[in-house]
C-alpha cells in the first residue's frame, strides 16, 4: 500500500502558522501588528464593495487572513542549497533574482514561493532569501575569518535533514513525518540570543556592514521579519504609532493609487535586543544587537514587462509614475498589467514577488541605524547565485504570462 502523503500545501500552511506563532512569542509587537492589519483589512472591505467583490471572485479573500512572507539571510552556498531543498518539501520554488548590492546591501536574493495558481490560492507563503556576498568584504583577513565561522556551523538539524532526504527519496511525507519536519525545520529560524563570535569580532563585522554581522555572528538564519498583507498600507502605517510602534518615515514602493500596482512595504523599527558574546575568560560579555523587525505589505496587480519598464523608468527619474494609468481597464487595454478572465470580467493578477529597491530600503532602515555607506557598484551575479542554489531561478514574468493565459 502506498503511504498517504500530506500535500505540500498543507505542510506549507502548517509551517507558516508555526513560524507565525514562534515569532509572535519572540517579538510581542508582531502580535499587535497582526491585530492592526486585521482591523485595517476589515474596514477596507466594509467600505469598498468593488474591492470586496473582486477579492471574493478571485479567491484572494479566502487567503489574505493567513497571508504573510518572511525573510532570512544565509551565509554560504551550501546553506542556500539545503534551505532550498527544505522549501521544496513545502512546494516552494526559487522565483526571481534580486541584486541588493547596488543599493548598498551586500547580498543577492530570491523568493521561495508556490508557483501554481491553485497552490497560491491555498497558501501563498513566501520566504525572501538572501545570500551574503562575502567577496564584497574588503578586508581579506576578516573575509577569511567570516568564511571559517560560517563553514563551521550547521543551520539545519539532523532530524530535518533526514526528513528532507526521505521526502526526496519517497516522494513526500506522511502525517507524522510532516509534523516532525515542521518542528525540526522551525529550529533553523529560531532566535538565539548568544552570539557565536566574541565581542571584538562582532565589532569588526559591524564595521564592515551591520548585515554581515547579523548573518555571521549567530547559530543560524533567525527569521528577521514576518509580513502580513494589508489592504490599505497608508491607514495601517498611520495607526502603528498609536499601537506603540515606531514606523518607517516613508512607505517603500509605488505611490498610493486607486488601482494598486506591484508591492508597497513599510515596517516598525527593529528591536534593540540584548545578546551575550562568548569570552575566553569564562563569563559571557553582554552586548546589544539590532536586526528583527515587523513589516506590513500591500500587494497590487502584477505589471507586464512593458508596464514594469515604465515603473522602473519612473523610479530612476527617467519617467513619471503618471505614465502608468490609474484605471483597471486602461492598464489592461494598453498591456501594462496582467489580468485573467473571471466571472465578473477581467480580474487583476496579484503581484506575488518583490522589488529590489524596496527590499534594500527596508533592510537599511532596520539595521540599527540608517546605513548611509555607498553602493557596492554593479555587482549583480545571477549565475553565481544559481550555481550556489544548484538550479535555475524561475522567471516571474513567465509565471504571470501563463496565469494570464
Asked if 321 and 336 touch (Cβ cutoff 8 Å), the reply is no
Taking only the tens place, the pLDDT of each residue in 169-208 is 999 999 999 999 999 999 999 999 999 999 999 999 999 8
Asked if 223 and 23 touch (Cβ cutoff 8 Å), the reply is yes
What pLDDT, on the 0 to 100 scale, is given for residue 367? Answer: 58
User: Which stretches within 187-262 are classed as H helix?
Assistant: 199-208, 210-216, 233-240
**% residues pLDDT > 90 (the chain):** 67
How many whole angstroms separate alpha carbon 173 and alpha carbon 247? 41
Of 222, 226, 70, the residue nearest 153 (C-alpha) = 222
* H/E stretch holding 260: none
Of 404, 309, 303, 386, the residue nearest 80 (C-alpha) = 386
What pLDDT, on the 0 to 100 scale, is given for residue 323? Answer: 92
Instruction: Count CB-CB contacts under 10 A for residue 39.
Output: 14
How many whole angstroms separate alpha carbon 135 and alpha carbon 128? 21
Banded model confidence at residue 366, pLDDT cuts 50, 70, 90: low
Banded model confidence at residue 308, pLDDT cuts 50, 70, 90: very high
Domains of the chain: 8-302+338-404 (3.10.180.80)
Taking only the tens place, the pLDDT of each residue in 54-84 is 888 877 888 888 888 999 999 999 999 999 9
Tell me which residue has cell 465578473. 344
The sign of the torsion formed by the CA atoms of 396, 350, 99, 306 equals positive
Taking only the tens place, the pLDDT of each residue in 266-289 is 887 777 889 999 987 767 889 999
User: Which stretches within 130-284 are classed as H helix?
Assistant: 140-151, 158-170, 175-186, 199-208, 210-216, 233-240
What pLDDT, on the 0 to 100 scale, is given for residue 375? Answer: 54
Amino acid at each position: 500500500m502506498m503511504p498517504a502523503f500530506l500535500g505540500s500545501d498543507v505542510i506549507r500552511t502548517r509551517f507558516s502558522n508555526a513560524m507565525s506563532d514562534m515569532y509572535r512569542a519572540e517579538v510581542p509587537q508582531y502580535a499587535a501588528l497582526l491585530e492592526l492589519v486585521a482591523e485595517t483589512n476589515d474596514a477596507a472591505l466594509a467600505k469598498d464593495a468593488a474591492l470586496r467583490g473582486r477579492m471574493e471572485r478571485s479567491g484572494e479573500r479566502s487567503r489574505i487572513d493567513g497571508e504573510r512572507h518572511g525573510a532570512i539571510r544565509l551565509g554560504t552556498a551550501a546553506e542556500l542549497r539545503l534551505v532550498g531543498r527544505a522549501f521544496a518539501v513545502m512546494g516552494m520554488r526559487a522565483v526571481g533574482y534580486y541584486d541588493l548590492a547596488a543599493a548598498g546591501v551586500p547580498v543577492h536574493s530570491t523568493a521561495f514561493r508556490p508557483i501554481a495558481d491553485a497552490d497560491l490560492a491555498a497558501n501563498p507563503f513566501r520566504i525572501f532569501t538572501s545570500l551574503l556576498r562575502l567577496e564584497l568584504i574588503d578586508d581579506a583577513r576578516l573575509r577569511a575569518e567570516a568564511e571559517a565561522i560560517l563553514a563551521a556551523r550547521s543551520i539545519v538539524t539532523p532530524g530535518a535533514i533526514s526528513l528532507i532526504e526521505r521526502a526526496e527519496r519517497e516522494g513526500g511525507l506522511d502525517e507524522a513525518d510532516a509534523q516532525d519536519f515542521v518542528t525540526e525545520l522551525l529550529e533553523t529560524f529560531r532566535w538565539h540570543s548568544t552570539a557565536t563570535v566574541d565581542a571584538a569580532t562582532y565589532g569588526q563585522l559591524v564595521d564592515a556592514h551591520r548585515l554581515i554581522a547579523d548573518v555571521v555572528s549567530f547559530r543560524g538564519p533567525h527569521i528577521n521579519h514576518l509580513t502580513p498583507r494589508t489592504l490599505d498600507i497608508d491607514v495601517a502605517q498611520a495607526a502603528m504609532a498609536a499601537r506603540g510602534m515606531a514606523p518607517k518615515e516613508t512607505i517603500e514602493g509605488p505611490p498610493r493609487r486607486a488601482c494598486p500596482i506591484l508591492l508597497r512595504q513599510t515596517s516598525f523599527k527593529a528591536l534593540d535586543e540584548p545578546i551575550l558574546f562568548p569570552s575566553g575568560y569564562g563569563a559571557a560579555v553582554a552586548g546589544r544587537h539590532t536586526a528583527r523587525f515587523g513589516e506590513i505589505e500591500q500587494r497590487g496587480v502584477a505589471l507586464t514587462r512593458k508596464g514594469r519598464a515604465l515603473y522602473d523608468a519612473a523610479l530612476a527619474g527617467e519617467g513619471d509614475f503618471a505614465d502608468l494609468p490609474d484605471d483597471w481597464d486602461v492598464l489592461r487595454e494598453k498591456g501594462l498589467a496582467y489580468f485573467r478572465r473571471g466571472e465578473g470580467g477581467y480580474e487583476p493578477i496579484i503581484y506575488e514577488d518583490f522589488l529590489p529597491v524596496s527590499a534594500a530600503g527596508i533592510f537599511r532602515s532596520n539595521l540599527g541605524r540608517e546605513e548611509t555607506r555607498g553602493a557596492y557598484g554593479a555587482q549583480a551575479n545571477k549565475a553565481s547565485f544559481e550555481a550556489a542554489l544548484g538550479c535555475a531561478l524561475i522567471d516571474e514574468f513567465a509565471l504571470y504570462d501563463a496565469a494570464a493565459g
